[in-house]
Amino acid sequence: SEMSYVMIKPDGVQRGLVGDIISRFERKGFQLKGLKLYQTPQAVAEEHYKDLKEKPFYPALVGYICSGPVVCMVWEGKGVVASARKLIGATNPLASEPGTIRGDFAIEVGRNVIHGSDSPENGERETAIWFGSEGLVEWTPTMTPWLKE
C-alpha cells in the first residue's frame, strides 16, 4: 500500500527531537517499514532534491541536509502521504499550525526539521533513493484490528 518517505533533518537530530517525532507517527497508526540514522552523501541529497536544482536556495539546502546525520524512515498505510504532510505542517514553519511538527518546533524554512514525500509517486521514488530495493522490513503489526475497521 501507500508509502511516505519521512526524514528528520540534521537540525531535528541535533535538537533531540527524534523520539518525539517518531512517536507522533507511531501513535497516529501508520506502520514503520524502514528506519536508519544516516550521514547523507552529497550525491544522495542532490538526487532527492533534483526537482529544486534551479532554485537559488538549492546549494544551501543540499549543504543543510548533509551537515549532520538524518533519520530516514518509511511509513506505510492508507493515505499516509497526505496525512504525513498534515502532521508535518506547512513548509514555512512560521505559517505551520501549532500542533504540527514544524509548527511546534521550527521558525525558519531553511531549518524546518523534517521532510515528507509530496505524492505517492515521490514516496516510491524517495524510498528507492534512501533505502534501495532491500532496505525495508516486511512485518505484521498485531494492532491492525484496533486501527482498521
Range in contact with ligand GTP (rule: CB under 6 A) among 28-36, 115-123, 125-133, 141-149: 115-123
The answer to the question of whether 105 is labelled as a binding residue is no
Q: In what order do the strands lie in the sheet with 3-8?
A: 31-38, 70-76, 3-8, 114-116
In angstroms, give the least distance from the CB of 116 to ligand GTP: 5
The verdict on 118 binding ligand GTP (CB under 6 A) reads: yes
Cβ within 8 Å of residue 142, ≥6 positions away? none
Binding characters for ligand GTP, 37-76, by CB under 6 A (x = yes): --------------------x--xx---------------
The verdict on 115 binding ligand GTP (CB under 6 A) reads: yes
Q: Which of 41, 59, 99, 110 binds ligand GTP (CB under 6 A)?
A: 110
Catalytic residue ranges: 115
Residue 47 or 141: the one with the smaller Cβ distance to ligand GTP is 47
Distance CA 24, CA 51 (A): 28
Number of H-type helices and E-type strands within the chain: 8, 4
Residue type, 37: L
Phi then psi for 147, rounded to 5 degrees? Answer: -115, -25
Residue ranges of the annotated binding site are 9, 57, 85, 91, 102, 112
